[in-house]
Structure formats: structure tokens, C-alpha cells
Amino acid sequence: GWLLSTKVNRAPWEAFGPANPDPLNNQVFELYDLTKDFSQSQDLAAKYPEKVQQMKELFIREAQKYEVFPLDASVAARIVAPRPNITAGRTEFVYKHPMVGLPQGDSPAILNSSYTFTADITVPDGGADGMIVTSGGRFGGYGFYLKDSKPVFLWNLVDLKRPRWEGPALTPGRHTVTFDFKYDGLGTGTLAFNNMSGLGKGGTGILSVDGQAVDTQKMEHTMPMILQWDESFDVGSDTLTGVNDADYAPPYPLTAALNQLTLKVDRPVLSEADIKALQEAQANATDGATGETTAVDGSDVKHVQPGPQ
């Protein structure tokens, strides 16, 4: 049959640029006869303009039928747009048993937010090792684990940096180990103003044992968009790849008893002043071709077209 498609007009590195405001009418369309040209090597749009119009009208009818409109040609904003999942709208999660293989789309979202992991564990005589909780893997993610009885929280920033918090070895017995992270940015709310400035900012992490801070560090940057798509959220072990091959090899089961793991997420809320500044930045944006503007914090950022919230 016939295939009507649009010409690729956005390079991968332009994902944060402004979205096409009218993708149905101001793009270059290509037409292919798949019965004779399965590889789509012969564009017939110029030869059969009436077929192009016919296919466009068919698309409009089907799009209306299945509630596709309005079309959204943004890229970056669509990646982080909320989707139906079992964790949507929740800010507190409690786990009392090991669990593995939860897809990224259904796992708790902690990016661009403040969050606190609290692990109630019992270390046996002789010490313990193993993963408490992890999400992501070798090319991006985090892990909260024991190594030689020492509590460790580690971020793998797309295999470029690995910020690491570590405490002294835990004695046998029951302990509460906490990792608390305070995010410095405005969060994903800036996307509603076609602005990326709230994403990927830094923050301060504190690793504590039994209520006492044992390691405090600041992260200059955090992961802005997503964790590794083909990895999962695991409690009590680590499936697939690890976040730090130098420390352990999966599945790295936890040999301490996991009495309870709690995660609390505190997502940023824009203040009235933040909203006003974002509105002004959006109104003052002058370079629509490149999407460059000034963020609320004064840094250069890229525009995106916000997806549904």
C-alpha cells in the first residue's frame, strides 16, 4: 500500500529545540508505494500530489477517531511527560521484601527532586554485602548497597562520573541507614514554560547511620531526563548490569536482613516568583531558531515544547 510520512527535520542533538507548532501543515511530506518500493527509496509526493492530499485527509479522519489531536511535535518534553503507571502521584514507597525487575516506566521517579531512602536492616555476625536498592545500570543509575559491611550510595552519571557516599563498616545488629538528597533546582515544572532550566541541577546528599551523618557531599549536576531504559528498579539485589563494576558484580544479593526500605520523594513546587520569572523568560525569548534564552537562574538553557501534564 501507500505510505505518507514527513521528512526527518530534527537532528538528535536538536531534541531540546522548539517544537514545530503546526506539524500537519508545515512539513515536507514524502510518499512511497510500498508494493513496489519496500525500502522507501523513491519519493513520489511531487508526482502524485492528489494522493498526498488524500492520505493527509485519511490521517485526519483516523486521528480524530482515535483522539490523537492535538499533535505534539516536541521531543524532550515528551520524554519526561507523566504517563500512566503504578507509581504516578505517589511520594512515599515502602518495601518489606526483595523485589526485582520493575520497569523504569513504573518505578519511583526521583530525578529533579529531593528524596530520602531509609533502610532498616539487620547485619549478621561476620558482616554483610549486597544491594539494598538500585535503578539503572552501567550507563546511568544509582545504587544503595553494602560493601564489606560499609553502606554506600553511588550515582553513575552516564559512565562519566560516579559520585559516591560511604560510611564506616556496620557492626552486627540492627541499623537504620539513610541517604537524603536535597535538590537545588526548580524541577520539571519549568517545562510548562518551554524551559529546561529546572532539570539536571545539583544538590547535596547526606549518608547517615543510626541518625548520625557519616558522609556529606554536593553534586554539581544530576541526571536530567531518564535513567537507563533497558534496566530496572530492584530491591534486595541487582539484575542486569551494575552501577559500579569496581564494587560488585550482579546479582549481588543482600546478605543483611531487610526489615523495611522506605523512599520519600519531595518534588519541587514553583513559587509565584518562580512562575513570574519563567513567564518573563518565555516572553523575552528572541531566538526561536535555536531555542536559546535565559533561565530563571541566569544560565543559558534550551526551549522545549511542553507535553501534557
Q: Are residues 262 and 194 part of one domain? A: yes
Least confident range of 84-88, 119-123, 292-296, 302-306: 302-306
pLDDT tens per residue, range 57-101: 999 999 999 998 888 777 766 766 667 788 888 999 999 999 999
Indicate the helix (H) or strand (E) that contains 93.
strand 92-95
Rg (CA), the chain: 24
**79 falls within a domain:** no
Q: Are both 35 and 152 inside the same structural domain?
A: no
Same domain, 225 and 257: yes
Q: Could you tell me if 125 and 184 lie in one domain? A: yes
Most confident of 61-70, 180-189, 278-287: 180-189
C-alpha distances out from residue 210 to 142, 144, 155, 168, 290, Å: 22, 16, 22, 12, 50
Residues 111 and 174 in one domain: yes
Note whether residue 86 is domain-resident: no
82 inside domain? no
Same domain membership, residue 279 and residue 258: no
CA distance 167 to 185: 27
Range of the domain at 280: 273-302
Q: Could you say which of 16, 44, 73 is where a domain stops?
A: 73
Interatomic CA distance for residues 236 and 23, integer angstroms: 46
Question: Are 32 and 162 in a shared domain?
Answer: no
What's residue 300's pLDDT? 43
Residue 105 lies in a domain: yes
